[in-house]
Structure 1
Amino acid sequence: MLFGTAAGAFALALTTMAQTNPGQVAFSLEREGKLTEAEAAWDALAKQYPTNPEPLAHMGLIESRQGHYAEAIKYYDRAMALNPRMPGLQLNLGLAFFKAGDYKRAIAELDPLLKAQPDNQQLSILIGMSHYGLEQFSEASPLLKQASDRDPTNLTLLLTLAHSCLLSHQYPCVLDAYHRLVALNAESSEAHMLAGEALDEMKDSEGAIREFRAAVATNPKEPNVHFGLGYLLWTKGHDPEAAQEFEAEIANDPHHLQAMLYLADTEIRMNKMDDARPLLEQIQKTDPDIAMQHLDLGIVYADEGRKQDATTEFETAIKIAPTNVNAHYRLARLYRSMGMTAEAKVEFDKASSLNKAEDDRLLKIMSTIPAGKK
């Protein structure tokens, strides 16, 4: 967004310095875009004047302009050791860390600068995006909100803020961003999807479905829009309509594994085992480590009388997801049908124990809620 500003300000500061020292030729080469020759000239000066940070800082800038951030950081670090107060140097070092994906060190360099300049838009964005990159969404959101408030028409920034708020469970923030997004772009399907996800987390399933329907109507080709609507319909037991949405997502993206998985599960719920099996077997070839796929394939095989194959699938599902009650229960029933009563009892007991543990967990939560709020 604004990342070029730091390098420009830094170069401007160095221009003045270069005009008053032997770096004029090196700087002229750099300004003309002759980066290889310029870096060689600065390198010669760095050796001639080992206590002067300017040649090293220029070499870092040249490497950064070429996308060689690891090399740039080395030069900036050497310059910082000589003069940590050199104008623009710490900012460019933090920027290099950011562009290299080392967000933790970027924050360490940039945060002191933001404390000294709390209204600096570029620093707010850089540090906010660094927290976002580290999945520290609670820390990212207030910085991104400040930046978005200063630049209210920046859709990219507003969408990033909305995602950060969603991922840190700040749902009122998501809905506020949604209203602002719609005001800027009434045809934003992603805005409707964000609102739908927030409403779903707030247990407003009807509102969530309404927003995802709006997203589909706005842009039926938006990635994941049909899957999101299909999933919400699946959770409500609206299987035929959910299947249509999963099929629409697969039409948009033939390699969408989640849409294939939930379509297969929906087909099983509608007793269309023959339709579910090829989907599940295709998923298994692509990603064999999905518990739900093994569970559903076990259900299909058991329905077809392939008991040994079903046993293998249920056991695999349990290995991947040991707390899956349904997998233990179905394996127990299968063992019992095969006359393996001892093994069946073990699985029934596990399923019962897992159910009780979940009931106890919910009871503990409920017991902490004041009576008037239950």
Structure 2
Amino acid sequence: MTLNEILRQIETGQNDWQEQLETYLLNAEPDEIYQASEQLAAYGFVEEAIRMLEHLVYLFPEEEQLKVDQAIWMLEVGREEQALTILQEIPRQSEVYPQVLLAMADYYQMTGLYEVAEQKLEEATRLMPDEPLLKLAKAELKRETGRYLEAARIYEEVYPLRSELPHIDLSQKLAETYSAGAAYEEAIPYFKDSLAQGEAPDKLFQYGYALFQIGDYKAAIEQLDEVLAADPDYYSAYLLSAQAYGMLEENQSALERIEQGIEKDSFEKEYYLVAGKLALKLGQEDKAQRYFSEAIALDPEYIDGILHLVHLYMHQEEYEAVVQLAADVQADGATLTSLYPFLAQSHHELENYNKAYDFYKLAYTEQKEDVYFLEKYAYFLLEEGKRKEAKSVIEQLLSLHPQAVEWREMIDNL
């Protein structure tokens, strides 16, 4: 039986392929065994590949490339101690020593020991200063540790050699790296180059996001339309597309797009929040109320949704609804101090003066820099005859706005 026949058995799920493999290996040449190990590892049978390499290492103990390959696969299956022991036994003067350093760097990077990983890569680069794969490894490490501009500089060095690296999309790596560092203008031409090599929803979305960030909203929408044409379930594209329409003040189109997103993913609270805000812009308060409420239903502690609904109720002078919403939120175990000013004003309007007083006092600590709140509080205290407390609040107002004549005169009268 040939190796290709055995691989076909693996692909079709036959259970006796391992027996067939053992028979095949008894008569196979070393080169064939090595090829079989690579193909088995590619199919996910890494332990079997390691055993085959162990056999080859036994036959050819001087072949250090076999040891490197064996150690790399051991790292893949979590046999780190054995792998590192093998790698550390390979001498520095070996031709494969740069591969040893690269494998160790990958391991230390994977375990979060970035400084050690970088040291290994620097040592390997000194041995092979013109090796593009080592430069790419350095770029990947710098990118992973947030040094995006340094990573981009190294990618730029390798970029002229991209024809020698056909399996690596350097254009996309540069585009993503510049984007990660918020250098969206620099990312744009590389996104274009990458897309010219082949389109994919992720690429199109990232390009659309970069266009959005530089303020080219129409072009962003065009890219996001392509994303959704290729993959209607690419949920993030609905949100970003709606936001782009919103930036163009095309609010009806924005609302329609986010509503399409809600149809696809009805459990994303942010979609409902955006839909509610857009409905408000269009003067559709009932729809906005419904969307804000649905966002809160998904997450009773969703502060953005709660505050938007409270602001809407206050605008509509629906003070009882504000009080009820706060009660519902607290019933779900959340105490939201940001609601205190609205509860104070709502209870004031509902003539629940004792409760209004309690909430004004609770809100005061966090609202000392809010002139609008302080004015409301001061007038309430004056109405309630609490002149001493009113004086303290007005003094705080004057500390923020010393030139406010009205409040200066009022405090003089007090």
State the TM-score, normalized to the length of structure 2: 0.64
Unaligned runs of at least 5 residues, structure 2: 1-41, 43-59, 405-414
Question: Structure 1's 184 and 54: CA in aligned 2 closer, same or farther, altered over 3 A?
Answer: closer
- The within-5 A match list for 1:256-275 is 256-270=302-316, 271=318, 272-275=321-324
Please state if 1:309 is matched with 2:358. Answer: yes
- 1:235, distance to aligned residue in structure 2 (A): 4.2
Quick one: which of 248, 263, 266 aligns to 1:220?
Answer: 266
Paired-residue identity, %: 15
**Quick check: which has more Rg, 1 or 2?**
2
Cα deviations by residue, 1:198-233 (Å, 9 ceiling, x for unpaired):
121122223322322333334433442211101222
Matched residue, 2:158? 113
- The within-5 A match list for 1:21-170 is 23-30=64-71, 33=74, 36-46=81-91, 53-64=98-109, 66-68=110-112, 70=114, 71-114=116-159, 117=162, 122-152=169-199, 154-170=200-216
Which amino acid in 2 is paired with 1:89? L
- 1:328, distance to aligned residue in structure 2 (A): 4.7
Which amino acid in 2 is paired with 1:83? M
Cα deviations by residue, 1:267-307 (Å, 9 ceiling, x for unpaired):
3334123223225657995665x5xx444344334333234
- The within-5 A match list for 1:173-184 is 173-184=219-230
- 1:174, distance to aligned residue in structure 2 (A): 1.6
- The within-5 A match list for 1:183-262 is 183-186=229-232, 188-262=234-308
Cα deviations by residue, 1:248-280 (Å, 9 ceiling, x for unpaired):
223334443322222233333341232232256
- Please tell me whether the aligned partners of residues 104 and 134 of structure 1 are also in contact (alpha carbons under 8 angstroms): yes
CA distance in 1, matches of 2:391, 2:68: 84
Cα deviations by residue, 1:56-108 (Å, 9 ceiling, x for unpaired):
233224445x5556243331122223432234111012123334554344334
- 1:314, distance to aligned residue in structure 2 (A): 5.0
- 1:197, distance to aligned residue in structure 2 (A): 0.8
Question: Structure 1's 268 and 278: CA in aligned 2 closer, same or farther, altered over 3 A?
Answer: farther
State the TM-score, normalized to the length of structure 1: 0.70
Unaligned runs of at least 5 residues, structure 1: 1-7, 9-18, 355-374
Matched residue, 1:367? none
- 1:177, distance to aligned residue in structure 2 (A): 1.3
Q: Which has the higher contact order (CA 8 A, sep 6+)?
A: 1
CA distance in 2, matches of 1:196, 1:57: 45
Question: Structure 1's 280 and 266: CA in aligned 2 closer, same or farther, altered over 3 A?
Answer: farther
Cα deviations by residue, 1:38-64 (Å, 9 ceiling, x for unpaired):
432332334566996443233224445
CA distance in 1, matches of 2:303, 2:127: 54
CA distance in 2, matches of 1:325, 1:101: 41
Question: Structure 1's 282 and 103: CA in aligned 2 closer, same or farther, altered over 3 A?
Answer: farther
Question: Structure 1's 199 and 281: CA in aligned 2 closer, same or farther, altered over 3 A?
Answer: same
CA distance in 2, matches of 1:330, 1:236: 30
CA distance in 2, matches of 1:49, 1:353: 80
Which amino acid in 2 is paired with 1:312? K
Task: Determine helix, strand or coil for the equivalent of 2:169.
Answer: helix
Which amino acid in 1 is paired with 2:86? A
- 1:165, distance to aligned residue in structure 2 (A): 2.8
CA distance in 1, matches of 2:396, 2:66: 82
Task: Determine helix, strand or coil for the equivalent of 1:224.
Answer: helix
- 1:244, distance to aligned residue in structure 2 (A): 1.1
Cα deviations by residue, 1:293-327 (Å, 9 ceiling, x for unpaired):
444344334333234434335534545xx4x5643
- Please tell me whether the aligned partners of residues 314 and 331 of structure 1 are also in contact (alpha carbons under 8 angstroms): no
CA distance in 2, matches of 1:263, 1:172: 31
CA distance in 2, matches of 1:256, 1:81: 53
- Please tell me whether the aligned partners of residues 135 and 154 of structure 2 are also in contact (alpha carbons under 8 angstroms): yes
Equivalent residue pairs, number:
328
Question: Structure 1's 76 and 198: CA in aligned 2 closer, same or farther, altered over 3 A?
Answer: same
CA distance in 1, matches of 2:315, 2:340: 15
CA distance in 2, matches of 1:132, 1:189: 20
CA distance in 2, matches of 1:282, 1:80: 62
- Please tell me whether the aligned partners of residues 323 and 343 of structure 2 are also in contact (alpha carbons under 8 angstroms): no
Question: Structure 1's 48 and 158: CA in aligned 2 closer, same or farther, altered over 3 A?
Answer: same
